Amino acid sequence: MGKREVDDRFKKFGTVSFTSITKVNDFVTKLEEGKVSGTCCKGCGKKYFPPRADCAECLSREMDWFDVEGKGILRTYSKLEFAPIGFEADLPYSIALLDYGDYKVFGRLDSSIPDDEVKVGMEMTTATNVLSNGQLNYIFKKA
Amino acid sequence: MGKVGVIGVGQSSFVRGYPGSIKELAFEGFSDALKDAQIKTTDIKASVVCSSPEYDKQRSAAGVMAEYLGMTPQPTFYVETLCSSSSTGVKLAYALIESGLHDVVAVVGFQKMSEISSAESQERMGRGADIQWESPFGTMMPAYYAMYAQGHMAKYGTTPDDLALIRVKSATYGQINEKAVYRKPVTFEMFHDPKSPMSNPVASPLRVGDCCANADGSSCIILGNEEMTKRFAKKPVWIRGIGAASTTVNLAGRDVFSGLTAGELAGAEAYKMAGITPQHINVAEVHDCFTIAEMMAYENLGFAKPGEGKDLIKSKETYKEGSIPVNVDGGLLSKGHPIGATGGSQMRTIVLQLRGEAGEMQVKDPEFGLVHNIGGVGLYGNVTIFGR
Ligand SMILES: [Zn+2]
């Protein structure tokens, strides 16, 4: 019996990935291509970030991908001095939320931005990022 | 619909590293409630057991608790909504009684946070969010609440010093609550003293002093229908309103970062059911896992207008002698936060207050008391209003 092929691309997402199998695994391939992407329902047009395989509005399972582009507004953030197991090497780092109007994106701030330049309400962009352990995520940069 | 009342309340002391099993821990709160109620286990027709199973080694805890507490062969149910598990348990018990299925129901909440090693606990902390989309960024509970603190500060000009005042208040009452885990004073100056651990940053803008005390503990609330409450309770206290709501786990799905909408919705539902307004509440227990959580609760529950929670604490209106005493048992900040037991402990405090049995913590002649209990980062909101 041949070994069944498992699509576990999602294990590449984040400093520590806690799950590897999802119907939106293309998200990781797109990250590798330098794109941060959400899904848009073909049935009703609703935009989802983070991406979903299923539309809770109209129950459609037909989705298109769209790229997170342009500027978002920093709604809030926090700089961590302690980290969960597996994230210690990233310290200190800031988690944050960017508002794009139609959808919001949760992620990390670009660690090269000085603390005193981070302000709620500032414009930022979302960019893919390769972590020191080779994993992938995305970060928010000053617009 | 008939009324649902409180027959008995109990809790264990909240402690660090409880020297016994989860069953022995739960027995402490349960036996305390039975003594308070002066009833026998055979008078209880069903049990609801509440905990956050990520901290339990025991699978399906309801069964082992029903056995150890002597409540077999009655049916038992297991309920979990993280930190608000026992409030949700009370809502289930309320429904079981109102439906006529059972006339007396015990809600047993427990958590032995020290059941797992600190390494295991650290690992679980990293999985507190949506593990697919947010945990991979390295999120933790204090950092999420810190994001709300940042949001509140940006919108309303609240300061870290305003939040420190909330901790100073809770420590004032933790010192006089013999069940509290943290019984030492916390001063405003400690937040500015680099030598005090209270001033150490955890996740900006929150400091160690803004975070609740970890503890093992158990609680028990015994509820009955109108007939049984009148038969057993010396001083009946009734559930007047009960509300619950949820919101998205992912912060990306939310719109408000200066308050917890699930708590606000649960409060509105409970006020409506009770037919009262926030001004009628004489004493409250709110979910203060972090100081910012209490600040947001003031506003979400209508004790202060949005953005004016800071004025309430600055003017000491939430102290025992103020217009709306809040967490005068030390709250989660000083009394401690054994997840599954927390809601039941908050309810015990309010019931004792309404009976006039709260001792040194007693506020003057309260008629209505409110319990606000949140699970996760505002994920599950629960508000229960009690009245004499
Ligand atoms: Zn749709």
What pLDDT is stored for residue B125 in this prediction? 78
Q: May I ask the CATH architecture of the domain B4-117+214-232?
A: 3-Layer(aba) Sandwich (3.40)
The CA R_g of chain A, rounded to the nearest whole Å, is 16
Most distant pair of Cα atoms in chain A: their distance: 60
Whether ipTM tops 0.95, in short, is yes
B→A interface, C-beta within 8 Å: 119, 122-123, 125-127, 131-140, 142-144, 146-151, 154, 200-206, 250-254, 257
Among B139, B150, B200, the residue with its CB nearest the CB of A120 is B150
Please judge whether A79 and B137 are an interchain contact, meaning their C-beta atoms are less than 8 angstroms apart: no
The burial class, CB within 10 Å (0-12 / 13-18 / 19+), for B241 is buried
Alpha-carbon distance of B251 to B42, in angstroms, equals: 46
Q: What are phi and psi of B226, to 5 degrees?
A: -60, -45
What pLDDT is stored for residue A2 in this prediction? 59
Domain boundaries, chain A: 9-67, 72-142
Q: Nearest-CA distance from B50 to chain A in Å?
A: 26
For residue B119, the chain A residues in CB contact (below 8 A) are 85
For residue A49, the chain B residues in CB contact (below 8 A) are 252
Identity (one letter) of the amino acid at A97?
A: L
For residue A17, the chain B residues in CB contact (below 8 A) are 136
Which pTM does this prediction carry? 0.97
The CA R_g of chain B, rounded to the nearest whole Å, is 19
Please judge whether A90 and B134 are an interchain contact, meaning their C-beta atoms are less than 8 angstroms apart: no
SS3 (DSSP) at A92 = coil
Please judge whether A79 and B203 are an interchain contact, meaning their C-beta atoms are less than 8 angstroms apart: yes
Lookup result for tokens 């509140």:
B152
Catalytic annotation present for B192: no
The 10s digit of each residue's pLDDT in B57-80 is 999 999 999 999 999 999 999 999
Alpha-carbon distance of B336 to B216, in angstroms, equals: 8
Which of A57, A80, A108, A118 should one mutate to test binding to chain B, selecting the residue with the greatest count of B CBs within 10 A? A80
Q: Which residues contact B49 (CB under 8 A, 6 or more apart)?
A: B26, B61, B62, B65, B66, B76, B77, B78, B79, B89, B108, B109, B110
**For residue B137, what is the nearest residue in chain A, using CA coordinates?**
A14
What pLDDT is stored for residue B286 in this prediction? 98
In chain B, which stretches have pLDDT less than 50?
A: none
Which percentage of chain B shows pLDDT scores above 70? 100
What pLDDT is stored for residue B254 in this prediction? 97
How far does residue A61's CA lie from ligand 1's centre (Å)? 8
Mean pLDDT by 10 residues, chain A (143 residues): 81 96 97 98 97 97 97 98 93 97 97 97 98 96 97
Please judge whether A80 and B131 are an interchain contact, meaning their C-beta atoms are less than 8 angstroms apart: no
CB of A13 within 8 Å of any CB in chain B? yes
For residue A94, the chain B residues in CB contact (below 8 A) are 204
What pLDDT is stored for residue B127 in this prediction? 86
Please judge whether A97 and B257 are an interchain contact, meaning their C-beta atoms are less than 8 angstroms apart: yes
Contact A108, B137 (CB under 8 A): yes
The 10s digit of each residue's pLDDT in B324-341 is 999 999 999 999 999 999
How far does residue A108's CA lie from ligand 1's centre (Å)? 29
Among B122, B132, B137, the residue with its CB nearest the CB of A19 is B132
How far does residue A19's CA lie from ligand 1's centre (Å)? 25
Q: Nearest-CA distance from B78 to chain A in Å?
A: 26
The length of chain B in residues reads 388
SS3 (DSSP) at B242 = strand
Structural tokens at position A32 = 């590798």
CB of A113 within 8 Å of any CB in chain B? no
Most distant pair of Cα atoms in chain B: their distance: 58
Scanning chain B, the segments in alpha helix (DSSP H) are 22-37, 61-68, 85-98, 118-125, 141-156, 160-174, 226-232, 261-274, 291-300, 309-314, 331-334, 342-355
